[in-house]
Each structure stands twice: as C-alpha cells, then as structure tokens.
Amino acid sequence: MSLVEKAIKKMQQQSQRSGLARPPERVFGTLVNTGMRNISMPDLAEPPVPERIIAIDLTALRAEGLLPPEHQERQIAQQYRQIKRPLIARAQARGADIAQRLIMMASAMPGEGKTFTAINLAFSMAREKDVRVLLVDADTPKPHISKLFGVDGEPGLLDVLRDSGSDVENVILGTDVPNLFVLPAGHRGDNATELLASERMREVLARIVERDPKRIVLFDSPPLLMTTESQVLTQIAGEVVMVVRAGFTPQSAVLDALSHVEKEKSVGLILNQSMDTGTARYYYGYGYGDAATPEADSGQ
Ligand SMILES: Nc1ncnc2c1ncn2[C@@H]1O[C@H](COP(=O)(O)OP(=O)(O)OP(=O)(O)O)[C@@H](O)[C@H]1O
Ligand SMILES: [Mg+2]
C-alpha cells in the first residue's frame, strides 16, 4: 500500500471512529517537494475580451517559490497533468453542472501550498486546447496572487460584489500567457465574508461561467481552519481540491477542515511537498469513479 493510500485509509478509519468528519473521497495525486475530455463543446459565444493584458513575470514567480525550479519543471508539469485531467473531464462532461467549473483550492492550515497549486494548475490547464482558465484571488485577507501578479489594490472581486451595477468582465485581466486570465481580490473592507456569501456572489459566478462555456475558474483561498471566507467558498465551488502538506499537517486538522465541506461536494486531495519521489498517482473509487483514466503524456 502506498504512502497516499495509507494516509487515506487512516483518515477514513479515524473519521468512522469519531463520526465527526468525512474522509476524502478521492486523491488526485502526490506532488513531490522540489514533484478528457472526449466531448467536443460548440463555441456558444465569442469569448469576452479583457480590456487589459498583464505580463506575468515567470522569473519572479520562480524566485518566490511559486513555480518549480527549472530542473524540476518537467516532473512537476507531469504531476499537474495528472491532477488536472479528472477536473477537466468533470468540468466538461456532457450535462455537467456549471458548478463543476468552479474549483477551489483549500487547505486546513496556512502554507500548505494552495497558491502554489492554484498557479501551477492554472498554467497547466491553460495549455489545454478547449479551456480558458480564470484564476480568482479569493484569498481576500491575504491576496497573494494579486500581489504576485502586480495587481494588488486594483479593482477586483470584492468591488464587483459591492457594486451590484458593475460587470465582472470589466475587472477580469488577460495575461500574456495564452488562455490564462486573472480576477484580482479587489479592495478589502471588513465585510468580505458576507460579500462572498451573498446572493450577488452566486450571480457573479454564474455570469462568469455562463458567459464563456470554456471557462474553468480556479479559486485561491485562505486556510479553512482560520477564516470564514474559505468556509463560505466551499459552499459555492463545485469541486474542492484539498491541499495537504505531507508530513506537516496533522490528520485531525485535515479531518476538521473536511468537516466544513458539504457531504455531497466533490472533494479531492493533493498530498503536497511529499518526499516520496515516485511519479504522481491517481486514485479512483473513493466515491467518484467517473473520471477518465489519465491520458498518456500528451506533452501539455
Ligand atoms: N510542491 C511544492 N514544492 C516546493 N515548494 C512548495 C510546494 N508547494 C508549496 N511550496 C512552497 O511552500 C510555501 C507555501 O506555499 P503557498 O504559498 O502556496 O501556501 P498557501 O497554502 O497558499 O499558504 P497561505 O495559506 O499562507 O496562503 C511557498 O513558499 C511555496 O514556495
Ligand atoms: Mg496562499
């Protein structure tokens, strides 16, 4: 039994014993520490064209530790390929709920790798032919993505939520990475949780996914056990990707975090920064066996 399987089994047993929290249903894979769509979708609408395009400084991202060092690029890229495939397959499945295109990066504690995962998954998904990725900085207390992309303090999600007459498309930024778009966090007030929990938030997200059928929205978020903002986000996202820092986060914290996620939600787990340097693996059958087997290396 592999490291990941053992961890999941333990968590499932513990969860059954305590009767408190739910175990993860699926493991996306193991990510080493510095490691389908079949249905064609018609173009229903011309994709929205952002008013502004920002340049992404890959060197700065790498220097900040948010992209793998060059010598590990291939290995990490391969692992993200495996992580993205079931997410894309479910997002694009015939008859899929639009919520399947709202994917939240979550974790119990700070520093587990949500922002790292959001950025690397976004780059990986943006290489797909039929996907346009919108990376949303929903870490409103600590808008890391907005800072990294140099758009901290610019209008964003919170501003659109405050102003019911505004159009979210006006604050979505294009980037010089093809098919990658960014929605900054916007100006923080003291009611961010209420804004994220509002009916307006649901309206804005519905508009985002309906406006472009190829859009997949990735949310970076604050730690689940430390903020109410992220607990609210789990209710809105159709998919929750729980990032767990290997050898660091106690299982009780992971279970506690999972207890904030509704039972019917699709939840997957990434064991991040694992020192197990084997290739990333996928696990099916923890409740969601509908995803396709990852394709062979397609080079994307
Ligand atoms: N797979 C990985 N390999 C190497 N370093 C990583 C990996 N994942 C995360 N890190 C590093 O761990 C640190 C924390 O990662 P990150 O900022 O993504 O965590 P976070 O969950 O977003 O934290 P916070 O909750 O504070 O926003 C970063 O310095 C990042 O470079
Ligand atoms: Mg972060």
Between the CA of 113 and the centroid of ligand 2 the distance, in Å, is: 7
> Quick one: which of 68, 152, 59 has its CA closest to 117?
68
What does the block give as tokens for 234? Answer: 């789990």
The pLDDT score that the predictor gives to residue 246 is: 85
Residue 227: CB within 6 Å of ligand 1?
no
The pLDDT score that the predictor gives to residue 220 is: 98
DSSP string, 188-218: --S-HHHHHHSHHHHHHHHHHHHH-TTEEEE
d(CA 94, CA 91): 9
Helix axes 114-126, 73-92, angle to 10 degrees: 70
Single pTM value for the model: 0.84
- The DSSP bridge partners found for residue 247 are none
- Select the CATH number that applies to the domain covering 25-39+48-274 from these four: 3.30.300.30, 3.40.225.10, 1.10.1130.10, 3.40.50.300: 3.40.50.300
DSSP string, 220-268: E---TTT-HHHHHHHHH-SEEEEEEETTTS-HHHHHHHHTTS-TTSEEE
Tens of pLDDT, residue by residue over 242-289, are 999 988 899 999 999 999 999 888 899 998 887 755 433 333 222 232
300: buried, middle or exposed (CB in 10 Å: 19+, 13-18, 0-12)?
middle
The pLDDT score that the predictor gives to residue 263 is: 86
The residue whose CB lies within 8 Å of the most ligand 1 atoms, and thus the one to mutate among 76, 105, 116, 273, is 116
The pLDDT score that the predictor gives to residue 247 is: 86
Tens of pLDDT, residue by residue over 41-54, are 444 558 899 999 99
Residues lower than pLDDT 70 in the chain: 1-45, 276-300
